[in-house]
Structures are given as structure tokens and as C-alpha cells.
Structure 1
């Protein structure tokens, strides 16, 4: 079984919201709801007592973390919330009764009730796309090449994003872009294990990872 996830290089993210917007379009997310939110963290002082311009900030994308041991699956009374064969956390809408126990148990507040269908929804990691060998929409539309998709069992250095267009040479065509991949190791600046972070773990073991260098990680607050 695979263990799919997304790794985001927060030093590359510019907060353009392309991931959030493209996700809503591709997955027909209702107005007022999001599968993928982009939060601004800061500006915060670089050191105690610091004032502008000695401040720092970054953008943090928050969505379903497709946890290894998800709380939402544990509390679901019908089995609608479940771990799929590819390791992602999915919702079977035919089984969902809209009780919202899963939404209340999620540590990250990324589930919501679709008022029209009366079922709970969240990020599916674009299961319809990755099942055909494509990248999740938020990864394929990231203009900063900050987001990478892959199998945790193979290590995050192997995670992939669309090819980076070289404006001085090479083929900049759309066809080249959508069919050619670049790995995280080939694309991002060097990082250490201390630079890799996760959202708070309350026993659910979130799968998504975030790389942040030379700034103070605020994701545990």
C-alpha cells in the first residue's frame, strides 16, 4: 500500500492562493468552504523585543493531513470515513449520515458539512487524479513550485511537481510542463531534518510535511 502525501516548501510559497482557488474549481467546493486554506503566519518579531523591519512571516497551507491514524475514522459510526488502499483518508458519501462527529474530532478543522447534500466533505488529495497517475490539482497549479506530491515510503526527496520551465533554453510548452516532473531534491534549496515540520500530532500522526528554513516554525501553536 502506498502512503501518499504532500510536502510544501514554505520558503518558496508566495501566498498566491493558486492552490486554494484551483482546488475549489477542480472539486466543485461550495462557496464559503475550502479544502485547502492558505494562512499568513506573522509578521512576528525575529527575536524578543524586535520591531519592524526585524520581523519574519511565511504562508502555511492547511488541509486534510491524510493522517496515518486519523481521529475522524475512529469516531465515524457508519464507516464512511476510512483509509483507502493508497493510504489516503476518504469519505464514502453513500454511508455518510452527516452527523459531523468526524468534523468535531479533526484537530485541524478541515472538514465541513455540505448543506445541500447533507454529507461531510474535505480534501480527497484529488483521488480521481492520482488514480490516473496525475498530480493533485494544488500541486500541479503551484506557480512557485512549493508543493510536491509522492509516497512517504520512498522518502520526501522523491516527491514530484511539474517540470520547472527554463526561460533561457529548453521546451516551455504546455505539453512538456504537464508530462515532465521534477523531484523535490532537484528543485528546492538544501534542508536538514530540523527544517521539516508537521502540524500538531495528537496521536493521529499527520502525513503532510512542511519545510521551513531560517524562520521560527509556528505550526505547533
Structure 2
């Protein structure tokens, strides 16, 4: 069984919005809509601190479709337009979508929207057109802080990979598109208690977030 997902090291994320911009460019997301949103969590007082600078903390939290293991959007879709593929991703068949938006209302993360021009619901596809060709999702490939990693959650976090400099120093698209670094070889050490997911209301979100030395408020 496969469940593709993204792991984000929030201690590395700088909130540059490169992931959101890259997503819009790669998927022709209409102006005013986003497949990925960047939330700023904080600043909040540090535990035991004064609540004044520098005793505050914050982090950035990218939110998109979580490609849930048990997606509520799939359950409520009357036409089976929303469906789950063998690779674990949740996709929308535009030919079947009638724009009822039941899926948007069922999504606990508010990451679906109605394309007013096409009258179909859209969302993050995890760049299915890229990962099927062995490439990384665009938001992972273009991460400014190199905080995002892609892989199969069923294979464990050690299997996740992110973009890397080409081994031969080449700057060609082909070389950079295929260069990979394993998450464990790049991020700082973390424990199981540092790994979080968005609130689970029975849908079992697949995306994970690493956050060290700060209070999780996702």
C-alpha cells in the first residue's frame, strides 16, 4: 500500500511563500485562489516568559490538501468525482464534478474552492502530473528553506527526499530536477514527540510537520 505525503520541517520554513507561488504557476491556479496557504502561528509568549520580545515564538505553517487516508471529501461526493488513487493521493475528476461543493464543506481544512469559470471544485493534486514522472511536487522542489520533503508515509520518514544541488555542479534543469537528498541527512535530529499533523476528525491526514522547541498550535 502507498500513501504519498509531504513532511515539512517548520524549524526550517521561513515563510517565503515560494511553495505557494510555485504551486500557482505549475497548476495555473486562478487569481484569488490558492492550493496552498501559508499561515503565521504567533508571535505567542514563550512558556514561563514575560510575553514581551524576545520571550516570544512563532512559526509558519503551510496548509493544503492533506491527501487523507480516509478523506471526508470522497465520502460525501455524490458523483465519485473526488476519489483516492492507488498512490494515496486524493484527486478530482473534472468530468464528473458537478460543482455542488459538498466536498469543500466536508473538508476540515478549508483547502478546496470552486473554480467559478469552470464550475468545478479544485485543490492540491500533489502535482500528480510530476510525481507520476518521478519528479517532486512543485512546492517541494521550489521550497526556499529546503524545509519540505516528499515520500511514501508507509515506508517511514527515512524514505522521504527533497531537492538537492546536482552532484556534478550542473545548473541544468534536468540535473537539478533529479538531484535528491534524504530528509535524515539534511534536517536536524528530531524525536517522535516533535512530529505533528493537522487535527484529525476521523479523516487521518497524511501530511506531517516537524517542530522542535516550540509549542505546536496547528
2:148 equivalent in structure 1? 147
2:118 equivalent in structure 1? 117
2:179 equivalent in structure 1? 180
Cα RMSD for the two superposed structures: 1.3
1:40 equivalent in structure 2? 40
* Equivalent-residue separation in structure 2 for 1:213 and 1:207 (angstroms): 20
1:193 equivalent in structure 2? 192
* Equivalent-residue separation in structure 1 for 2:125 and 2:178 (angstroms): 22
| TM superposition shift of 1:122 | 0.2
Is the deviation greater in 176-185 or in 133-142?
176-185
Gaps in structure 1 of 5+ consecutive residues: none
| TM superposition shift of 1:164 | 4.3
Matched, 1:15 2:5: no
* Equivalent-residue separation in structure 2 for 1:115 and 1:91 (angstroms): 16
| TM superposition shift of 1:4 | 0.2
1:54 equivalent in structure 2? 55
| TM superposition shift of 1:177 | 2.4
* Equivalent-residue separation in structure 2 for 1:31 and 1:80 (angstroms): 24
DSSP 3-state at the match of 2:140: helix
1:214 equivalent in structure 2? 213
| TM superposition shift of 1:171 | 1.6
2:24 equivalent in structure 1? 24
Cα deviation, 1:35-74, whole Å, max 9, x if unaligned, reads 0111111100002552222000000000000000000001
Q: TM-score with structure 2 length normalisation? A: 0.96
* Equivalent-residue separation in structure 2 for 1:50 and 1:162 (angstroms): 37
Moved over 3 A (4+): none
* Equivalent-residue separation in structure 2 for 1:164 and 1:41 (angstroms): 31
2:202 equivalent in structure 1? 203
Is this contact kept in 1: 2:135–2:178, CA < 8 A?
Answer: no
| TM superposition shift of 1:156 | 1.2
Cα deviation, 1:136-174, whole Å, max 9, x if unaligned, reads 0000001211000001111112101111479xxx62523
| Number of equivalences | 216
* Equivalent-residue separation in structure 2 for 1:78 and 1:176 (angstroms): 42
